Amino acid sequence: MTITILGAGYVGLTTAALFAQLGHKIYLLEPNISRLSSIRKGKSFFYEAGLNDLIKAGLNKGTLIPTDSYMEAIPSSEIIFSCVGTPDNPDGSSNLTYVHAAASETAKYARPDAIFVQKSTVPVGTGQAIIDFFSEQKKQIDYVSNPEFLREGTALEDTLFFDRVVAGGHSSDAVDAVLAIYKQLESKSKRIANVVGIEAIRTTTGEYIATSLNSAELIKVTANAFLALKISFANSIAQLADTVDADIVEVMDAVGADPRIGRSFLNAGRGYGGGCFPKDVSGLIASGLQNGVDLEIMQTTQAVNSSMPSYIVHKLQAALGKDVKGTSVAVLGLAFKAGTSDVRRSPGIVMANMLAKRGASVSAYDPQATEEASHEITSSVALHDTLSSAIKNVDCIIIATDWPEFIEQPTDIYASANILVDATNRLNPQAVKEAGLQYIGIGRN
Ligand SMILES: NC(=O)c1ccc[n+]([C@@H]2O[C@H](COP(=O)([O-])OP(=O)(O)OC[C@H]3O[C@@H](n4cnc5c(N)ncnc54)[C@H](O)[C@@H]3O)[C@@H](O)[C@H]2O)c1
């Protein structure tokens, strides 16, 4: 089978590198020349454990073909997966420029029986608009919504050992054809995992969920919105825990022990960031309003999340007993989460910039994201290549991302500072205090 993947971003590159292991011919179409030339050399433009090995394996076998040409890739492709970006517009709604451009270019070259699969996260109704466009162009291309659920940092594991694959569309044959590729991937998942030395994260088989087109689109944004809601809920209760001297970790451990609730995503801290949750929440709010539905619950989720960096800086100031002006602070963790170099909407960067603006002397370090962060961070923030140089001679340390390098070390490595703000709530407060530092968590004083 010949397949084209449109867009070599976090989703498209991961998908293409894995599908190339199935023996299909995979065109990976990417217009960004710097990303494309890096991939042609066997290197991803972002950090994801195991991905470079997989890219090289696909290039060597000849099953992964990076290109920037629609004319080269599309005419022979039975299935085209669109994985282009869907950033937000200034008003929070989804910017579908790339989505429509990808569909429009595909329509020019696609064979009559092609299937166009949408993996990008789009507002409900987008698929039907593209189907209408295909039919205006007199193209009988089938359309399937197949939303992506991978997480950066575990992108390969999530794709190989998925808990569910959702596919929705008007043609059950097209939906089945898409699900068949994932069945093939699942049957080879252990062998592929061995090639790149990654662990199976699940032993049970994944669920295959065929739905209507609009349901598939709504499933994706609803899942992300609910996870964001859980984080903001935990952060709201954490602020109460701070004032009544309770420990949010103890609270959520016991609350989450109820199987009706579950423990995951009830972690208080610096809030969510990245290329998905913030824009998916604002996109859902905008999509609700366009359809006459005011999703106030998501507006509150967003407001709580935006307030967390300043809440944390405020806590630091309360501990200092003064403004942060003139205080030296090291921010550890600039990636929006551990395991990736992605710094989009990263709370660590927001806090570093906020502190610098308020006159603190800020140093910062991340094990993988320093280069990416250099484009986003205020020039007065000193970026360091090592943890030890970033924390040298500072008064305060903020742990903003739970990289193992920060949370799995003996806490006395931080002992030269006076205050440690654990914005991930992952450290043991007692161990930090025993190392001679004042510990500040979020909802756990
Ligand atoms: N990153 C994640 O963890 C994740 C997880 C699930 C879903 N998603 C969704 O998947 C989609 C892609 O996300 P991403 O993080 O991979 O985005 P990204 O911005 O990293 O990558 C998108 C790529 O598409 C390319 N592109 C733009 N226009 C194109 C066109 N007309 N034809 C071909 N390529 C084109 C861009 O150059 C870019 O390299 C988004 O809708 C996102 O919300 C992302």
For residue 90, with 0-12 CB atoms within 10 Å meaning exposed, 13-18 middle and 19 or more buried, which class applies? exposed
Residues 402 and 353 in one domain: yes
pLDDT, residue 202, reads 79
Quick check: is 304 in a domain? yes
Indicate the average pLDDT of the chain: 97
For residue 213, report the phi and psi dihedrals to the nearest 5 degrees.
-60, -50
Mutual angle of helices 189-196 and 51-61, in 10-degree steps: 110
Q: Which domain holds residue 186?
A: 2-211
| Among protein residues, the one whose CA lies closest to atom 28 of ligand 1 | 98
Residues 346 and 260 in one domain: yes
> In this structure, what token pair is assigned to residue 183?
């069945």
User: Each residue of 178-199: pLDDT tens digit?
Assistant: 999 999 999 999 999 998 888 8
pLDDT, residue 381, reads 98
Residues 207 and 250 in one domain: no
Last-in-domain residue among 211, 236, 263: 211
Residues 65 and 198 in one domain: yes
Residues 190 and 308 in one domain: no
For residue 320, report the distance from its CA to the centre of ligand 1, in Å: 42
pLDDT, residue 159, reads 96
pLDDT, residue 59, reads 98
Q: Is 85 in the pocket of ligand 1 (CB under 6 A)?
A: yes
Residues 201 and 255 in one domain: no
Quick check: is 433 in a domain? yes
pLDDT, residue 204, reads 81
- CATH number for the domain spanning 435: value is 3.40.50.720
User: Each residue of 196-249: pLDDT tens digit?
Assistant: 888 888 788 899 999 999 999 999 999 999 999 999 999 999 999 999 999 999
Q: Which of 115, 276, 355, 396 is catalytic?
A: 276
Residues 206 and 259 in one domain: no
Last-in-domain residue among 163, 188, 211: 211
User: What is the average per-residue pLDDT within 43-64?
Assistant: 95
CA atoms within 13 A of residue 156's CA, in its CB half-sphere:
26
Residues 131 and 190 in one domain: yes
Residues 265 and 117 in one domain: no
pLDDT, residue 249, reads 98
Residues 120 and 265 in one domain: no
| Among protein residues, the one whose CA lies closest to atom 30 of ligand 1 | 102
| Count: domains in the chain | 2
Quick check: is 233 in a domain? no
Start-to-end CA distance of the chain, whole Å, equals 58
| Among protein residues, the one whose CA lies closest to atom 17 of ligand 1 | 85
For residue 10, report the distance from its CA to the centre of ligand 1, in Å: 7
Quick check: is 36 in a domain? yes
Q: Which ligand 1 atom is at minimum distance from the Cα of 151?
A: 3
Inter-residue contact 120 to 81 (CB < 8 Å):
no
pLDDT, residue 156, reads 96
| Whether residue 83 lies in the annotated active site | no
The reported pTM is 0.94
Quick check: is 232 in a domain? no
Residues 178 and 270 in one domain: no
pLDDT > 80? residue 445: no
For residue 384, report the distance from its CA to the centre of ligand 1, in Å: 29
pLDDT > 80? residue 334: yes
User: What is the average per-residue pLDDT within 95-122?
Assistant: 97
Q: Is 8 in the pocket of ligand 1 (CB under 6 A)?
A: yes
Last-in-domain residue among 162, 187, 211: 211
Quick check: is 76 in a domain? yes
d(CA 48, CA 335): 12
Quick check: is 229 in a domain? no
pLDDT, residue 29, reads 98
Note the helical H segments in 188-290: 189-196, 213-244, 248-256, 277-290
pLDDT, residue 201, reads 80
Residues 192 and 269 in one domain: no
Q: Where are the beta strands (DSSP E) in 137-202?
A: 142-145, 164-169
Q: Is 31 in the pocket of ligand 1 (CB under 6 A)?
A: yes
d(CA 207, CA 212): 16
pLDDT, residue 283, reads 97
Residues of the chain with pLDDT > 90, as a percent, come to 96
Mutate to test the pocket of ligand 1, among 148, 151, 154, 340 (most ligand atoms within 8 A of CB): 148
Residues of the chain with pLDDT > 70, as a percent, come to 100
User: Where does the pLDDT of residue 320 fall: very low under 50, low under 70, confident under 90, or very high at 90 and above?
Assistant: very high
User: What is the average per-residue pLDDT within 367-390?
Assistant: 97
Quick check: is 145 in a domain? yes
pLDDT, residue 203, reads 80
d(CA 135, CA 181): 26
For residue 67, report the phi and psi dihedrals to the nearest 5 degrees.
-155, 160
